[in-house]
Structures are given as structure tokens and as C-alpha cells.
Amino acid sequence: MIEKLRFFRKYLPLIATIGLFILMFALTSVAFPAFFSLQVFFNLLNDNMFVLISAIGMTFVIISGGIDLSVASVIALTAMVSAWLVEWLNVDPFLTMGLVLLMGTVLGAGMGSLIQYLKIPPFVATLVGMFMARGLCFVISTEYIVIEHPIYRAIANYRIYLGDGFIKPDVVIAFVALPIAIFLLHYTRFGRTVYAIGGDEQSALLMGLPVGRTKILIYTLNGFCSALAGVAYSFYKLSGHGLYAYGRELEVIASVVMGGTLLTGGVGYVLGTLFGVLIQGTIPVIIMFQGTLSSWWTKIVVGLITLFFIVMQRALGATNSRR
């Protein structure tokens, strides 16, 4: 009985998330028959994959009890640097992608080192990263840089047809990253250490787990994910600008929270994050189909749903009020 209860409490947020998504999708399909099509679902994927890629990295960070506010800025910086390298400096596109991924990884490692070695709170360290990345975008250019390179255009316009619908290459990137992340988090020593740090860092340290190395690795991984999301974003937008993805860090964090990951750390699933992203992606589509509601309702509804999930976590007694 107790075992059952524990199981229930552990998976309730995840079940609630998947349930809510199915409910939303079903109700909307009944209300608007046109909504229930393969292409609408595929577009949901096509439009939100950079959020998912970034949210995968964020899941690791939040499970370890940290937070990263720099992700959206790193996405913008990646798009900006890609555009700058390819268009202005004529660097080979594939080399560019490698370079920007390296840049994101190094940025993440830097913030991780600040957090680990100097004991700077993750909130502050990543806030610095956020300012730095946005600022660097504007140092490169205050204007849009449009990517005209044929290889970038070819990838961005590539369509993979499945049944009646099509998906973009971004979706493939995200769905390759997803199982890798699930494997890393649930089936490796590194993943278990992430959970242990989130559960209780001091205990993890006393158990002899490599806390310092793992923490830096978590932020490094998240930096890489942000840069990968930025590469996907540069295909999506085919340009770079300093204000791209503004405010998306909240969307990423909210997706992870909706996916059943506890903000206090120690509990969470990468799969839940996928559904968190899908719920967030569905809201604007529903509002678009509904027609009379204006687009700004999206933000209000996202806020309310996030509140619902956080209060539910709180009601389950899983979070506490420590910052």
C-alpha cells in the first residue's frame, strides 16, 4: 500500500502532465475538427524544437537543484555568431556549427566553474552569463544579419515527409537528443549523481560522489544544449539578432516544471519535459484556432498553468520554501 502510494506520489506530476496534454489535445480536437490533423501536430513539433532541446539541458540543471537563466541569451548569441561567421567572415557552415557548439559548451563550463569553485549562487552566475551573451550579440551587430548561405537555406527548407505531413530537420535533432538525454540521466553513473546532488548535496559529497565534477558537467551539458538549440533556432529564423528568443528562458524553465521536475531538485524526468514543451506549444495554437482571444492570452494562460503545476507540487509536500 505504502509502496503504491509512494509510486503514485512520485509519478503523479508526470501523469498529470501527460494527461493534461492529451486532454487539451482531445478537447480542442472536438471543438475545432480542423485541429485534429497530423500536420497540426507536426507543426507543434516544428515550431517548438529549439525550446525542447534547451529544456532537455535545463532538466539536468533543475534536477541538480540549480537554475540557468542564460539559455535564451545563449540561443540568441549562437544564432548571431552563426550568421556573423557564415555571412560576414565566409566560414564554412559546418565548421561554423562546430564552433558555435564549442562556444556554448565553453560558456556553460565557465558558469559551472563559477558556481562550483567560487560558490556563487547559480541564479547570479547565470544572470551574468545572460547579460554577457546578450551584450555580445549587440557587440557583433545591432542589426539583423540574414543568413543567405545555400547550405543553411537547404537544411532549413528541407522537409521530411511522414504520412500526410512533414517535419523539419530540427525535429530530428531534438528526437536524437531526447533518448541520449534519457539514457544519460536514468542509466548512467553521471545521471544518478545528478539526482543525488539535487536530493542533498552535502550527503552526496559525504557518499564520496564526484559532486564538483558533476556540477560543472551539468552546466557544460546545458551550455551545449543551449548552443544546439541555437543552431536549430538559426535554421528556424535564418538570421541573427540580439533580441531573438527574448524571455524564452522562462518558457524553458516553465516547460521543465510542467514536466514534473521539482524546482528544489532531486526529482524529474526528461520525458516529462517533452510533454511540458508540447503543452506550452499547444496553448498559442488553441488561441489561434479559437480566433476571438488575442495572442497575449498565451502568456497569461502559460503563467496560470505553470502556477497550477507548482502549487500541485507544493500540495504534494515535495517542495519546501528554501530558495
Partner 1 sequence: MNLLKELRERAGNSKLTWPLVALLTIMLFNLFYRPEFFSIEVKEGHLFGSLIDILNRGAPLMLLSLGMTLVIATGGIDLSVGPVVAIAGATAAYLIGHGTHGQDITNTPLPLVILAALLIATAGGLWNGLLVSRVGLQPIIATLILMTAGRGIAQLITEGQILTVYYSPYHYIGLGHLLALPFTVFVVAAVFLLFWFLTRRTALGLFIESIGVNDSASFYSGISEKNVKLLVYTLSGFCAGIAGLIVSSEIKSADANNAGLWFELDAILAVVLGGTSLDGGRFSLAGSILGALIIQSLTTTIYSVGVPPEVIMVVKAMVIMAVILLQSKRFRQAFKPIIGAFLSLTRRGRSLLRTTRLPSGESASE
Name the residues that contact partner 1, by CB under 8 A. 67, 117-121, 123-125, 127-132, 134-136, 138-139, 142, 202, 205, 242, 247, 250-251, 253-254, 257, 263-264, 294-300, 302-304, 306-307, 310-311, 314, 319-323
Nearer to partner 1, 192 or 299 (CB): 299
**Cβ atoms 73, 133 nearer than 8 A:** yes
- Report the C-alpha gap between 197 and 210 in whole angstroms: 10
- Report the C-alpha gap between 24 and 9 in whole angstroms: 23
Nearer to partner 1, 38 or 300 (CB): 300
Shortest Cβ 194–partner 1 spacing (Å)? 19
Nearer to partner 1, 90 or 321 (CB): 321
Nearer to partner 1, 123 or 187 (CB): 123
Q: In angstroms, what is the C-alpha Rg of the chain?
A: 20
Shortest Cβ 197–partner 1 spacing (Å)? 13
CA distances from 253 to 17, 72, 137, 263, 265 (A): 15, 11, 22, 9, 13
Shortest Cβ 118–partner 1 spacing (Å)? 4
Shortest Cβ 130–partner 1 spacing (Å)? 8
Nearer to partner 1, 8 or 123 (CB): 123
Nearer to partner 1, 102 or 139 (CB): 139
Shortest Cβ 277–partner 1 spacing (Å)? 15
Shortest Cβ 142–partner 1 spacing (Å)? 5
Burial 70-86 (b: 16+ CB within 10 A, else e): bbbbbbbbbbbbbbbbb
Nearer to partner 1, 160 or 311 (CB): 311
CA distances from 319 to 265, 272, 311, 323 (A): 9, 18, 9, 10
E runs forming strands in the chain: 145-146, 160-162, 165-167, 239-240
Nearer to partner 1, 55 or 181 (CB): 55
**Cβ atoms 306, 258 nearer than 8 A:** yes
Shortest Cβ 259–partner 1 spacing (Å)? 15
- Report the C-alpha gap between 115 and 108 in whole angstroms: 11
Shortest Cβ 7–partner 1 spacing (Å)? 25
- Report the C-alpha gap between 254 and 261 in whole angstroms: 10
> What cell numbers appear for 168 in the block?
523539419
Which residues are paired to 240 by β-bridges?
A: 145
**Cβ atoms 68, 130 nearer than 8 A:** no
Taking the CB of residue 102, how many other CB atoms lie within 10 A of it?
Answer: 13
